């Protein structure tokens, strides 16, 4: 298991901080373990004005596990962030994100890359 510092990174963009979570390369059990660890990290930060960018470039990971993780994350992250940008999801996962967005009350949106997401995150 990677340490939390290998998954998280802060990005400064236009006087805002974006928490970048990189789950790329994680498969099934590794992904679930990483998400649990990151969720604990997010709770330890507490409520603030920082935005969160979730990177789940896991199109090769189990589709259902990835979608379940996205739904769980939306619930856990909601008290701590206004928006979540998800990068690298498959088309099927993108459709599911639409429903996660509708029912979580959190701004969740898929993007092709981080550059696309930055402007939306700081709006």
pLDDT averaged over the chain? 74
- Pairing mode, strands 16-22 and 51-55: parallel
- pLDDT of 24 reads 75
Q: What is the CATH number of the domain that holds 113?
A: 3.30.750
Query: How far, in Å, are 1, 43, 101, 102, 114 from residue 117 at the CA level?
Result: 28, 23, 16, 19, 5
Residue 2 has pLDDT above 80, yes or no: no
Confirm whether 5 is domain-assigned.
no
Q: Is the pTM of this model over 0.95?
A: no
Q: What is the pLDDT of residues 65-96, one digit of tens each?
A: 666 766 676 677 777 777 778 787 777 777 77
- pLDDT of 58 reads 58
Confirm whether 72 is domain-assigned.
yes
More confident residue, 31 or 121: 121
Q: What is the pLDDT of residues 48-59, one digit of tens each?
A: 666 666 666 655
Give me the number of domains the chain comprises. Answer: 1
Confirm whether 47 is domain-assigned.
yes
Burial 70-82 (b: 16+ CB within 10 A, else e): bbebbebbeebbe
């Amino acid at each position: 298991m990677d340490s939390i510092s290998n998954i998280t990174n802060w990005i400064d963009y236009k006087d805002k901080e974006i928490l970048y979570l990189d789950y790329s390369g994680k498969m099934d059990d590794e992904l679930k373990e990483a998400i649990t660890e990151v969720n604990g990290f997010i709770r330890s930060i507490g409520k603030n004005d920082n935005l969160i960018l979730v990177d789940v470039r896991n199109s090769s990971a189990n589709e259902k596990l990835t979608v379940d993780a996205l739904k769980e994350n939306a619930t856990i992250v909601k008290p701590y962030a206004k928006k979540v940008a998800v990068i690298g999801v498959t088309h099927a996962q993108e459709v599911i994100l639409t429903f996660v967005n509708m029912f979580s009350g959190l701004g969740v949106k898929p993007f092709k890359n981080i550059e696309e997401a930055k402007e939306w995150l700081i709006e």
